[in-house]
Structure 1
Amino acid sequence: MSEVKLINLVKKFNEKIVLNNITLNIKEGELISLLGPSGCGKSTTLKLIAGLIKADGGDILFNNESVINLETEKRDAVIVFQDYLLFPHMTVYENIEFGLKMRKYEKKLRKEKVNNLITLVRLKGYENKYPTQLSGGQKQRVAIARALAVDPKILLLDEPFSNLDIMLRDEMREFVLDIQKRLNITTILVTHDKEEALMMSDKVAIMLDGEIKQFDTPKELYKKPYSVEVANFFGERNYINGSIRENIFISDIGKFEVNHPNIDEVSVMISPESIYINNKFQNKELVFNKEYKLGEKYNYNNITGRISKKKYAGDRTYYNINIGSYNFKLTSINEDCNIGDEVSLHIDFRNAVYFKTNQQIKI
């Protein structure tokens, strides 16, 4: 287990900067995600931490000691790639044992550790099978067991679930989370899957164009993004432009009660799940959000619009609703409205985020 610090890391390929002053503090035992689109520098960061490539600037600290000039095998950081990279001519047992043999562990200790890991990753009975005889999930477990065999301080996972089908992906996420928490090992996960990062991580670093735009808890990232570009990374949001005077937000689609100081030219972000459709909530004292306390009164704001799009997705329905020049996106458990219907909307401003020049206004 180890604390990891990245300090102003820079990496260039052919004089092109692919990582620009990356700084992160990762606590012991945390699972954090590097989340971003392809080409943003996530995997490059992971390879720098593992020592597979050299940095062009900055430093990497494990427990406050620099490892920037240490060879890969001396860093106690192991990486698991999305393609598993198992040795095809070796059995499950031999694949897991490989790192221990390279480090010249005694045979008795190797056997004990490998058997314990086979039990941990639920592969009892598969010891003598070869990679071609395994499913994708089983191969992934072997790769993780092989990485854990050498008792690393840091586990690095590079898109480990991207080659798995949806059902197996969910199972492997839970499996990795269980092992990570049980071993309390500092883990860095690279992913482009927003839901995966939010569900699995203690903290998430949003990476765009070789820079970290925000490093925060999943809840804070989603609900309180620092910038519009971070907000929009998590899907479509609604923005209403206007000004605030004496706790009244004044816009061209209406006036709304808010809890915010006066400001000119503000853009208010409303998430799709903070808009409720079709007179669903008639009682002002009804608790429709678990964050409200029982009996707490709140203001809800009414506007009327017309449905322009509808997409049914099982447990929820996605609607586009035109209101003046705005096209609001919202999700609802109400599937009964249809394109062309005029509906009443209730907007909850409690979780609204206020932006000026695309940066969050701190209250």
Structure 2
Amino acid sequence: MSRWIEIFIVSLKLGLTSFGGPVAHLGYFYEEYVKRRKWIDEKGYADLVALCQFLPGPASSQVGMGIGLIRGGVVGAIISFIGFTLPSSLLLIMFALLATTYDLTDAGFIHGLKLVAVAIVADAVLGMGMKLAVGRKRLALMLLALAGVLIFDHPLAQVGVLLLAALFGLLLFKVEPQSGQPLAIHVSRVWSISALILFFGLLVATPILATVATGNVQLASIMYNAGALVFGGGHVVLPFLNQALVPGFMDGTNFLAGYAAAQAVPGPLFTFATYLGTVISGVSGGLLATLAIFLPGFLLVIGVVPFWDRVRMNKQVGRMLIGVNAAVVGLLLAALYDPIFTSSVETGLDFFVAFGLFCLLRFYNQSPLRIVLLGAVIGMVLSGIGLA
């Protein structure tokens, strides 16, 4: 019990202080878990990071779950998730309740937050593209993915694009298998197989439920489906959720305002789902959406650990992931265009502000928190002088 309390306190501390997105989170985790507490050695931490980047889902949160798993078993993984996710979830629930209690659609700071979303996603597209869409073949896959989701405006279109990208990756690329020592995490086969059965069972069921169910069942189905199919981190969940929720569940203005607000809080960007669930169905909807979007990542960490060493030696898997990662950049680029740019940039001044925020983020190394606050202030100023 004392070990579980310790896991919760440490992960809660990280959840309160880990600003800056997934890459920054991994740095905080390294300082806390590897250097300070020595719960895992450097080689084990590197292997765990590699596993979580290989899996779909929120990579930094999955690393935290994995360390909780090492320290306190499956219960430790759950406690680590709760501690790291709780602060940002509570903050976004409060923001969502404020947005639904008061009509903030025309508020100046909301317009500023929409311009912040343009800057942040543009920065994410550029950064990911420079790593994942280099070379003619990968660039071609990115463009095909972009065309596919722009032409076929349906949530399942993105799933089809990723499957085709995996097939093309298998056919087009060569890759050397990864090597290394066995991952320093031990989970019983019973737990792992049960987690994988549940993961794939829900993966088959949720797209069907998302189209035929109503209310919170439909909301949970959409969130699980998004969490199970997102490669590339928190930003990539944006196009999935936008196509599934706007305009059926909420308008684009509230959607983008919540996305920008999620940049300003510490912890995982996937808690954007908490905001969306709260806007759609109150606090209970926010909690349900949070659990649903993180559940597939949790199940995969538990389920894949015993098989990871065999999987990372498989050349076919590596080739498919190259194709998937290139396509992910195309999906995010499509989201940058619609809904983010089309619903946020209305004037030349808007474009100037969005581009200026992008430059501060990309070239002047300003933190996302500062960009969010600055964008909100600029929005209020422009609204006050009648320019927004």
Structure 2-normalised TM-score? Answer: 0.26
Higher relative contact order (CA 8 A, sep 6+): 2
Specify the structure having the higher radius of gyration (Cα). Answer: 1
Structure 1-normalised TM-score? Answer: 0.27
Higher strand share: 1
